[in-house]
Amino acid sequence: MYKVNSFLNFIFYISVVILIIINLFPGSLLGFFIYKDLNMQPNLINNPFGTTINHFIGFFCVSILGLFLYLKKDKFKNLVFVLIFLSIILEILQLLVPNRSFEIYDLSANFIGVLFAFILVKIYKFLTNHE
């Protein structure tokens, strides 16, 4: 079990690094890998919000993994604050990166991704503690 937990921790930290790189890279790495074009932002899911959904998906996936890993540890609440802080900082730093821009919708999607993951993990925690 220790090896599995260590591996999942490694995946979580690598995911955070990848999320940082994707958010701060001058252009679209996803667009490059999918379309071979750094200027094209793909929609991971067709929706009326455009590429903002990509921010939600990224932060939700990273948050859900991290929150489940730290579910029974004292650092659980700290991780929630770190993920929210990271979502804010990454969006603000995009002001400094060429071909990137600060967008309030993206910031909202980052925050909602973390918040939604937190709510799901809290529901899971509540249901498993009261069975």
The domain spans of the chain are 2-129
Structure tokens at 93: 């730093």
Q: Is the pLDDT of residue 52 over 80?
A: yes
CB 94 within 8 A of CB 28: no
Q: Is the pLDDT of residue 110 over 70?
A: yes
Rg of the chain on CA atoms, in Å: 16
**For position 93, what pLDDT does the model report?**
94
Q: What would the pLDDT profile of 35-51 be if each residue is shown by its tens digit?
A: 888 888 777 777 777 78
CB 56 within 8 A of CB 109: yes
Lowest-pLDDT range, 22-26, 43-47, 87-91? 43-47
**For position 101, what pLDDT does the model report?**
86
Q: What would the pLDDT profile of 7-22 be if each residue is shown by its tens digit?
A: 999 999 999 999 999 8
CA distance 83 to 113: 10
Eight-class DSSP state of 27: S
Chain-wide mean pLDDT for the chain? 89
Closest to 81 in 3D by CA, of 93, 103, 63, 57: 63
**For position 34, what pLDDT does the model report?**
83
CA distance 129 to 118: 16
Burial of 57 from C-beta contacts in 10 A (0-12 / 13-18 / 19+): middle
Alpha carbon 32 to its chain centroid, in Å, reads 20
